[in-house]
Amino acid sequence: MHMFDIDKLTIMVPGAVREILKTLHDAGYEAYIVGGCVRDAILGLEPKDWDITTSALPEQVKSLFSNTVDTGIQHGTVMVIKYGIGYEVTTYRIDGDYKDGRHPENVTFTRSLAEDLKRRDFTINAFAYSPEKGVVDMFDGLEDLDNRLIRCVGDPNARFSEDALRIMRAVRFSAQLSFKIETVTLAAIGRHVQNLSNVSMERIRVEFEKTLLSDHPEKAGQYASLGMGRFIVPDEALVKKCFDDEIADCYHKISGTDEEKKVLRLAAFFHNLTAEETKRALKLMKYDNRTIKLVSGIIQFKDKNVEAEKSAVKKALHKQGEELFALVLRYRELILNIPADEIRTILKQIMDAEEPYEISHLAVSGTDLIEAGIPKGELVGETLNMLLNQVIDNPDLNHREVLLGLIAKQRG
């Protein structure tokens, strides 16, 4: 007898989703919510999205709803829009051969829910539910939920040969849910790690990132212990310095917005690399320029001490920029245990008083300097920097006449 009694499980399905199920039902088709949303709802977690699976063919789905978008019609997916929100409705399907271990050569639509559930990766991802039929649990997923286990649907060796991304997903779900990977599935992972060479960096990265952002980010260590590290950071010398267990125990301290969490946890992951190495690693991982800039910036400045004093803080702000400065402060506080409150107080004073710390804050521009007789070229920039240094030390100087006076005096 397990904790989740299949006969007593009722899921609070949102109204819009209920309507979609009913419309399909009334037209004579089968329809269920399926996959991650059923898993999360049973666990008492808030589902991220509500996916629907149906015996209706894509064209039949489209004919039943006034507002649909063809988001993945070749795979049988139609997005139905209800009250401004999109819900993916996918026709029951069987995945064809995975010739390259990457994506199915073709998909075949089927009238059998069982066939559709069989193609799914893990038992806890293979539930269907409808208000009439309750939970459909063909692979003892409820028992695995109860025992907190990630287990493949069917033969793990076959499933990982079809699509090696499932290896990454196993670790990802184990981190998100704090589940263990069941032993037979775990053994098969060991045998199929090599197949990850057929999976694109983009797909690998998505799973790695979800692991790093999960509530148990330390479980990312499994990637290294299971031999997957070099598929995540595809450079032998760099990956050796990542996956530091001691740092991994600090990942969970990093909270904030999704982006703050992402860049700070990535920086922690690259803690033992130089800024240049971090850039190289992130490029290999096909990260966007903004992420590369912020993460390598955190690494570049994390070990630079800033005096708790206005001029020093303004100079650091000038060098790092406001956004990076705040991130570096957080990083030092959370990962290096360096108190940041004193600097934050000074930072607030600078911001509240709108004290200048950038060239653009100066009361004179490059054009002003040229008009004042400074020849076009490098000297303009040098002079602006010289003025900024003086203004950083003494904000009272930041007036047009005063600054032009300073230049006149210097030029003798």
Can you give the binding site for ligand ATP, defined by CB under 6 A?
Answer: 35-36, 48, 51, 120-121, 125-126, 163, 165-166
Residue 165: name its binding partner from Mg ion, ligand ATP, none (Cβ under 5 to 8 Å by kind). Answer: ligand ATP
Q: Count how many Cα atoms sit within 13 Å of the Cα of residue 400 in the half-sphere of its side chain.
A: 8
Query: What would the DSSP string read from start to end of 181-225?
Result: EPHHHHHHHHHHGGGGGGS-HHHHHHHHHHHHTSS-GGGGHHHHH
Query: Strand 149-150 relative to strand 180-181: parallel, antiparallel, unpaired?
Result: parallel
Q: CB of 265: closest distance to ligand ATP in angstroms?
A: 17
193 binds, among Mg ion, ligand ATP, none (CB under 5 to 8 A by kind): none
3-class DSSP assignment, residue 94? strand
Alpha-carbon Rg for the chain, nearest whole angstrom, is 28
DSSP letter assigned to residue 122: B
Binding status of residue 47 toward Mg ion by CB under 5 A: no
CB 165 → ligand ATP: shortest distance, Å? 5
Q: Determine the residue with CB nearest Mg ion.
A: 36
Q: Which does 163 bind (CB under 5 to 8 A by kind): Mg ion, ligand ATP, none?
A: ligand ATP
Indicate the residue among 102 and 315 with the shorter CB distance to ligand ATP: 102
Closest-CA residue to 382 (of 359, 401, 404): 359
Q: Does 297 bind Mg ion (CB under 5 A)?
A: no
Partner from ligand ATP, Mg ion, none binding residue 294, C-beta < 5-8 Å depending on class: none
Identity of the residue, 4 or 98, whose beta carbon is nearer to ligand ATP in the bound complex: 98
Tokens at residue 1, please?
């007898």
Question: How does DSSP classify residue 74?
Answer: G
CB nearer to ligand ATP: give 124 or 388: 124
For 8, other C-beta atoms within 10 Å of its C-beta total 8
Minimum CB distance to ligand ATP, residue 258 (Å): 14
Minimum CB separation of residue 231 from ligand ATP in Å reads 15
For ligand ATP, the closer of residues 213 and 328 by Cβ is 213
Q: Which is nearer to ligand ATP, 163 or 182 (CB)?
A: 163
- Taking the complex as a whole, the smallest distance from the CB of residue 396 to ligand ATP amounts, in Å, to 55
In this complex, which beta carbon is closest to ligand ATP, that of residue 125 or of residue 185? 125
The answer to whether 34 and 127 are in contact (CB under 8 A) is yes
Q: 310-320 vs 289-301: helix axis angle to the nearest 10?
A: 150
Cβ atoms of 280 and 321 within 8 Å: the answer is no
Residue type, 176: Q
For the bound state, the minimum distance from the C-beta of residue 122 to Mg ion, rounded and expressed in Å, comes to: 13
- Of 206 and 370, nearer to ligand ATP (C-beta) is 206
Residue nearest to ligand ATP (CB): 36
Find the shortest distance in angstroms from Cβ 48 to ligand ATP. Answer: 5
Distance CA 334, CA 331 (A): 5
Pairing relationship of beta strands 85-91 and 52-54 according to DSSP bridges: parallel
Under the criterion CB under 5 A, does residue 36 sit at the interface with Mg ion?
A: yes
The footprint of Mg ion (CB under 5 A) covers 36
